Amino acid sequence: MALKSEAGLTLIEVVLAMAILSIGVLALGMMQVHFAEGTARSRQLVHATDIAVNKIEELANLDEGHDDLQAKTHESDSPLEGYALDYFLSWEVQRQSIRNLRAI
């Protein structure tokens, strides 16, 4: 009687290969979720920075007697519109002494 050579995979080999493949696919999925969360946080940070820069430019262009510059601190009561998250503005105005400035 001649012995036959094994020409296929055993059930254990197939199950192990599927387990390894499943772990790899799960890791890729978790990585994708992590990247999506990071992108969302980055987008929020960019929006908040954009709002802050716009407010700084707005305050820098006001006359010295403007109401927004008279009170020491300010806070907005309602959130800004047009963004996915609610952003509330607050700022503090401080006088800068001319004595501390030097010509370069």
Task: Determine the structural domain holding residue 38 and report its residue range.
Answer: 14-98
* 31 pLDDT higher than 80: yes
Q: Is residue 2 part of a domain?
A: no
The number of domains in the chain is 1
In a domain, 104, yes or no: no
In a domain, 1, yes or no: no
Domain-embedded: residue 79: yes
pTM for this model (two decimals): 0.56
pLDDT of 53 above 70: yes
Tens digit of pLDDT for each residue in 72-93? 677 777 777 767 777 777 877 7
The secondary structure of 28-68 as a DSSP string is HHHHHHHHHHHHHHHHHHHHHHHHHHHHHHHHHTS-TT-HH
Report the pLDDT averaged over residues 24-32. 96
Asked whether 91 and 59 are in contact (CB, 8 A), the reply is yes
The verdict on residue 56 lying in a domain is yes
Q: What is the mean pLDDT of the chain?
A: 79
Q: Is residue 6 part of a domain?
A: no
